[in-house]
Amino acid sequence: MKVDYDSIKPIYLQIAEAIEDDILTGRLNEGSPVYSQLVLSKELQVNPATAAKGINLLVQEGTLKKQRGLSMTVAEGAKAKLVSSRQQDGLQALIDELVAEARKIEIPEQEVVALIRRHFAAKVVDEGGQQA
């Protein structure tokens, strides 16, 4: 998990999104324990309150489940909820941005579609060097 300290996006949001990414990629499964705020703060070299803010955001959204006296876990149904949310909101925003940028720099629709097809066909390698 990494954060970009130079990003305009707040670190706590980057932490929340990184945890979501770990759920979506299967690094964290539903019902499994989640990183603690202390582990995250040490690993990412951030204030524990910042790490807690990112975690608590996911608790409020129902992605993580807090159980008194037990470790925090990934909530049941979290992955499906994240997939749906990112398909509806996140992907649409990226597509809007891509189309707007393509129009600005005068790339025809067919060329944009061809670029997307090439990227889908390419072998994707994640940060750990594993083929996805």
The pTM (predicted TM-score) of the whole model is 0.72
CA dihedral 118, 122, 124, 130 (to 10 degrees): 180
Residue 58, helix vs strand vs coil = helix
pLDDT score of 124:
61
Task: Read off the pLDDT of each residue in 85-100 and give the average, rounded to a whole number.
Answer: 87
The contacts of residue 74 (CB under 8 Å, 6+ apart) are: 23, 28, 29, 30, 31, 32, 34, 63, 64, 65
Band (pLDDT 50/70/90 cuts) for residue 127 is: very low
**Is residue 51 within 8 Å of residue 81, measured between CB atoms?**
no
Say yes or no to pLDDT of 98 above 50.
yes
Tokens of 130: 């594993």
CA–CA dist 87, 42 (Å, integer): 32
Predicted confidence (pLDDT) per residue in 15-34, tens digit: 999 999 999 999 999 999 99
CB atoms within 10 A of CB 35: 21
Q: What is the residue-averaged pLDDT of the chain? A: 89
Q: What percent of the chain has pLDDT over 70?
A: 92
**Is residue 57 within 8 Å of residue 40, measured between CB atoms?**
no
Say yes or no to pLDDT of 80 above 60.
yes
Predicted confidence (pLDDT) per residue in 45-78, tens digit: 999 999 999 999 999 999 999 988 778 999 999 9
pLDDT score of 74:
96
